[in-house]
Structure 1
Amino acid sequence: MLGCAADCNPTVAPAPTVAVLPPTAASATNLPTPTLSQENVPSTSVSLSTSTPSPIPVINPDSTAPTSLNGDGQAAFRYLTELSTDFAPRSSGTEEELAAAEYLASKFEEFGYETSLQEFTLERLSQELSGLTLDGPDSEDVDVIPLVRSATGTAAGILTSAGLAREGDIPPGGLDGKIALVERGLIRFSEKVERLADAGAVGAVIYNNVPGNFQGVLASGGSSIPAVAISRKEGERLLDLVGREEVQATVTVTIDSIPSQNVVAEKAGTGQGVVVLGAHYDTVPGVQGANDNGSGTAVILALAEEMASQEFPFTLRFMTFGSEELGLRGSAHYVDSLTDNQQQEIIAMLNFDALGSGESVEILGDRALIDRAADLAQRDGILVTRGRDQPASSSDHASFRRAGIPVLMFTAPDVSRIHSVDDSMENVNPGLLRDTVRLALSFLQLPNPFDQGL
């Protein structure tokens, strides 16, 4: 996703991946801004709004609102079931992601769209090549996930507990030359890692405060030392071990190159201009990703199926983006591949991400588009809230916004389970998928949806 927001601290919801050369030559990895994946300090639902939004009241819904939607949006939930059952996880840059892309391309072709795969290669912090090794006669490897924006390289030292990495948790003698073992929670990842580095640590190992591993995201400055995440079970085991004996450890964070792809499906309009409807289809490793972003991908398929037999005054370009969870890579590649004239042809971009959990549809983006969508929601009896982009958060609409293209994003207020094993079908609200399909279709069926205020 929207991975939640890049550097928060939830007690329940993990976040996305990324990589220090030896401490003498550590270098921050200059990677694109990753998706909203943060640690949220409270264990409550996280909204994209910077303040608590008020639902837009439903007043006298217009009985003439469009009712042509097949199955009232039930197709979206059917596609979500297929994605979550047959194509999950869909971790960025993997064979599973490719299989999902081929499935999506086949559906667009079935609907009658001109369809293609746009392939690209990217560098990422590698979970497979990174690691934590307990050195000694019986060397032991521990599974890790590098924190996004970690430095790359290898560091070795005595593994030392430092609590939650608060000021009072740092040992009196500091952490010079040591690998710090700390628990997730209470303060941001960036604050933890920076404090550990300032105390002399050459590496940071953060263990989860709930079952399973997680992907954490550091703030935009990255880190000066390698920082990795491990599961709570492994963390508690290592905590007990270092309490009984001296443990020498080595932390490695490494970059590799991987292939990924976007799916592009197009239907020519009767007039000028292009409207892009997009959603990322990849997930973070090891999760079903039903909300983030099976929900948005399923809505894209439902809209494409519904709109295939209709004519519009603009060209429809449906896109599902790969490797969003590694920093909006797919959408950034697509926008960068366009000429200035091709960018100027795009009237607007509608983004669908993590829209399946909560009580209302949330809309954010350009004010003129938000206002128009809110008016339609009121007319059609759809409960919506107005959201705001958070500075530390992002999704694929940001790649288009940077190019000066108007954007409208459809999401939902509750992202507390994204990037965790709890992001599963049973935690998706089918009504939100239905309402998002209804609202987006009503918006695009307006006689001139993009003619004012843009």
Structure 2
Amino acid sequence: MPINGKRAYELLDRIGFIRTSGSDQEKEASQILMDEIQSLGIEAIREPFEVEDAIVHRAILKVCEPYEKSYEVTAWKCCPNAKLEGELYYAQDALTPVDLANMKGKIVLVNNFLRLPTYKKMLESGAIAFITYQGSLLDKREDSDLDTRKLRANFRKYGNLPGVNMLVEDAFELVVKKAHKVYLEIEQENVTLTSHNVYATIPGTEDPKTIITLGAHYDSVPFSTGVYDNGAGSVIIMEILREFVAHPPRRTVKFCWFGSEEVGLEGSKAYIAKHPEEVAKTRLMINVDVAGAPLGKDVAMITGPESLVSYIEYLACAENFSLHARQDIYSSDSTPFANAGVPAVSFCRFGTQGAAFIHCRHDVIQYLSADSLEATAAFVNTFASEIVNTAVFPVERTMPDNMVKKVHEYLDIKDEK
């Protein structure tokens, strides 16, 4: 039952619809994956977990001085309700002493996406609200979707500021026309949604107590069919599941399709929290996130020992597979495993600029190919099969200090001195 790109592409087409965290569509996609697993004669388990969300009733941004105009905005979900008027301040860097000194009592416009260090500094500097923006000035407005972003719990633990998001052309106009005083209003209610992980397990024939996990997230962002990010990873590990069904592994292999990755790695975090005994037995996590782009390059991000980088580079040469491997963290479901002490590898095929798209309406199956899916899947399968079936498991369950530091910085975990 060799890796089959056409079969993977067909499954990708079936799950290629918008499937956001905790939505009915996400659950529908989980059922499609479960049906596929069960068709192989393997038990599929769907495990629920809760995610926080919000229903936004109103989001308003209006310039009051020196001109009057209302702009289309979306509220950052889970931020506080607000009705406030204040002076607008454009923080070009947001971390310079000048910007920080000028934020107090202001509604602050920041460049692009809001990062945690910027948010913490805004709070410390006394900002009263924030505005983010997205997109390119080359975008046509009619082809642009305005994201609804969420102020995650790791932000809110430092303080909760109201915030809105807008298109770049509107942010450009605010600055060029020297908007001075603005009115911002947000009305929303926080809700709890149910998301799901899907699991399948192939017991080891000789060492069933040792677990190697393969994972991929199957949810998408709003407006996106999420085939490149990350339906592709989901169908790739499904192909690898088929291989292990046909060729039972020496060690146990656990397959995980994670929900709600796009809102903060919630599915993998839920798995780690709910299954500590399994995690303790897990020696390696193999993650696949973004694949299928014909124009691009394959990359392996290793959050673990440097020796694993060399192992993968050697295997790529042996298999005549062009791939760059490096030791680093990756913003995906591999990171919660690494935080639990499990060495992790994320395989990705990064599309070249203009040839693959994420987090937008242009993430569509027409820009992917069965051949590209098959090539990446075949190499990941070779790596997984080799390492799962070694006589002695070659990867030590340890996390280098430099990776611990990066993981803790990413997850905003304070190191105890």
Normalising by structure 2, report the TM-score. 0.75
- Taking a change above 3 Å as real, the CA distance of residues 145 and 292 of structure 1, as seen in their structure-2 partners, is farther
Note the 1:92-131 alignment, pairs <5 A. 92-124=21-53, 126=54, 128-129=55-56, 131=58
1:204 matches 2:130:
yes
Structure 1 residue 270: Cα displacement: 1.1
More helix, by proportion: 2
Instruction: Give the conservation status (yes or no) of the 8 Å contact 2:3–2:377.
Output: no
2:84 — aligned with what? 157
Instruction: Give the conservation status (yes or no) of the 8 Å contact 1:283–1:325.
Output: yes
User: Which of 298, 307, 322 is equivalent to 2:259?
Assistant: 322
Structure 1 residue 103: Cα displacement: 0.8
Structure 1 residue 101: Cα displacement: 0.6
CA distance in 1, matches of 2:326, 2:76: 30
1:373 matches 2:312:
yes
- Taking a change above 3 Å as real, the CA distance of residues 77 and 158 of structure 1, as seen in their structure-2 partners, is same
Instruction: Give the conservation status (yes or no) of the 8 Å contact 1:280–1:353.
Output: yes
Q: Please tell me the residue identity of whatever aligns with 1:303.
A: I
User: Which of 341, 355, 359 is equivalent to 2:291?
Assistant: 355
- Taking a change above 3 Å as real, the CA distance of residues 327 and 192 of structure 1, as seen in their structure-2 partners, is closer
1:420 matches 2:360:
yes
Structure 1 residue 252: Cα displacement: 4.8
Note the 1:297-308 alignment, pairs <5 A. 297-308=234-245
Instruction: Give the conservation status (yes or no) of the 8 Å contact 1:353–1:411.
Output: yes
1:77 matches 2:25:
no
Residue deviations 1:194-227, cap 9 Å, x none?
A: 6765675411122324333236688965664222
- Taking a change above 3 Å as real, the CA distance of residues 440 and 294 of structure 1, as seen in their structure-2 partners, is same
Normalising by structure 1, report the TM-score. 0.69
1:16 — aligned with what? none
User: Which of 187, 205, 208 is equivalent to 1:270?
Assistant: 205
Question: How many pairs align?
Answer: 369
CA distance in 1, matches of 2:174, 2:131: 10
2:60 — aligned with what? 133
1:397 — aligned with what? 334
1:410 — aligned with what? 347
1:146 matches 2:76:
yes
2:327 — aligned with what? 388
Instruction: Give the conservation status (yes or no) of the 8 Å contact 1:207–1:230.
Output: yes
Q: Please tell me the residue identity of whatever aligns with 2:285.
A: M
User: Which of 223, 236, 251 is equivalent to 1:286?
Assistant: 223
Residue deviations 1:272-293, cap 9 Å, x none?
A: 2222211010111221212211
- Taking a change above 3 Å as real, the CA distance of residues 160 and 319 of structure 1, as seen in their structure-2 partners, is same
Q: Percent identity of the aligned residues?
A: 22
CA distance in 2, matches of 1:265, 1:198: 46
Instruction: Give the conservation status (yes or no) of the 8 Å contact 1:260–1:323.
Output: yes
Residue deviations 1:107-150, cap 9 Å, x none?
A: 100111111111111224x2x337423589xxx99551527xxx
1:436 matches 2:403:
no
CA distance in 1, matches of 2:245, 2:272: 24
- The gaps in structure 2 that reach 5 residues or longer are 64-69, 137-143, 397-417
1:451 — aligned with what? 393
- The gaps in structure 1 that reach 5 residues or longer are 1-67
1:337 — aligned with what? 274
Instruction: Give the conservation status (yes or no) of the 8 Å contact 1:361–1:435.
Output: no
- Taking a change above 3 Å as real, the CA distance of residues 145 and 383 of structure 1, as seen in their structure-2 partners, is farther
CA distance in 2, matches of 1:450, 1:383: 27
Instruction: Give the conservation status (yes or no) of the 8 Å contact 2:79–2:151.
Output: no
Tell me the secondary structure at the aligned position of residue 412 of structure 1. Answer: strand
CA distance in 2, matches of 1:316, 1:289: 26
1:258 matches 2:197:
no
User: Which of 174, 177, 184 is equivalent to 1:249?
Assistant: 184
Instruction: Give the conservation status (yes or no) of the 8 Å contact 2:309–2:327.
Output: no
Structure 1 residue 95: Cα displacement: 0.8
CA distance in 2, matches of 1:450, 1:406: 16
